[in-house]
Amino acid sequence: MIPQQPVYLEDKVDEIRQSGRLDYRSQALPTWCPGCGYYSVTEGLANALNDLQAPKENTVVVSGIGCASRFPFFMDTYGFHTLHGRALPVATGIKVANEKLTVVAIGGDGDGFAIGGGHIPHTARRNVDITYILFDNGIYGLTKGQVSPTSAIGFTTPTSPFANRDAPLNPLLMLLSYGASWVGQAYAGWSHHLADLIRQALEHRGFSYLHVLSPCVTFDKTDRTYQNLDLAVRELDTDHDSSDLALAMQAATDTSTPALGLYYTSQRETLGQALDQVALRAGAAAESASLG
């Protein structure tokens, strides 16, 4: 039992209210299962946006289908609830239309890597300046607990009654190889750490991918539980160099004791910048033509 400094409710409550982080919340209470990691993400995103003083009206949260689909409803920001697996292209469209917006796409592992799997490589490749928070609980929550692309081998669900035999994806490795310019991993149980990474991801210019490990408290009581994750997760080595892709990929291969933190970050042209460049070149070409 870790000793606590005395907590006096009214002091704490004032502190929280003054911090302003509550302003990013909706009126309605979230309807996720009690204990769901999405609460951690909601808190984390609210805190991060608050830390960055991101104006609510300039923030858009986009979701697909799955337990994440309701996410925008629980944030007091602009939100877009799209179709299964189609969150990223919608988010791209929004960003291209207005570079000033802070765009956050959020979805689960099924939404992102199964039906939507085709979209991730391209969004990463183009380095669209959005943040994609992928909530990985290794299961289909909304359809009541079938295996997902990140389910462990041997995971038994209604659709894998004799244990899942398909090897799970390694999302971090995928994203690193797809060329995502910011890749991090967090865990719903480490709420403060999560919030901290979300803030960094939002600050990054370019496609930032934050992989959030979480249990499904309702449909996975055995495998990926808070208890098990608590024991499994660790922090990235203190000497980790997040500019070294090889090192990042090396770290990403450890799936048994997942390391949390910022794996890799680099600065390169975003889609927005590229479009600006195209516009510049076109402009320049027109000018030289008139001189000649």
Is residue 239 a contact residue for another protein (CB under 8 A)?
no
Cβ partners under 8 Å of residue 155, min gap 6: 138, 139, 147, 163, 164, 223
Place of tokens 């990140």: 150
61: which strand partners?
79, 104
* Exposure class string for 208-228: b at 16+ Cβ within 10 A, else e: bbbbbbbbbbbbbeebbeeee
Among 49, 62, 67, 91, binds another protein (CB under 8 A): 67
Q: Which of residues 184-203 bind another protein (CB under 8 A)?
A: 188-193
Strand order in the sheet with 131-136: 78-81, 59-63, 102-108, 131-136, 208-213, 182-187, 259-265, 234-235
Is residue 74 a contact residue for another protein (CB under 8 A)?
yes
Q: CA–CA distance from 232 to each of 39, 92, 174 (Å)?
A: 21, 35, 21
| Residues in contact with another protein, shown as a per-residue x/- string from 76 to 115 under the rule CB under 8 A | x------x-x----------------------------xx
Among 218, 255, 266, 273, binds another protein (CB under 8 A): 218
Q: Which of residues 16-45 bind another protein (CB under 8 A)?
A: 16-17, 22-23, 25-37, 39-40, 42-43
- Nearer Cβ to another protein, position 183 or 233? 233
Is residue 122 a contact residue for another protein (CB under 8 A)?
no
Is residue 228 a contact residue for another protein (CB under 8 A)?
no
Question: To the nearest whole angstrom, how small is the minimum distance from the Cβ of residue 20 to another protein?
Answer: 11
Among 78, 96, 226, 244, binds another protein (CB under 8 A): 226
Is residue 209 a contact residue for another protein (CB under 8 A)?
no
**Ordered alpha helix ranges (H), 162-215:** 171-178, 191-203
8 A C-beta contact, residue 170 and residue 253: yes
Give the CB-side neighbour count of residue 136, counting CA atoms within 13 A.
Answer: 25
- Nearer Cβ to another protein, position 127 or 140? 140
Q: Which of residues 145-174 bind another protein (CB under 8 A)?
A: 146-147, 149, 158-162
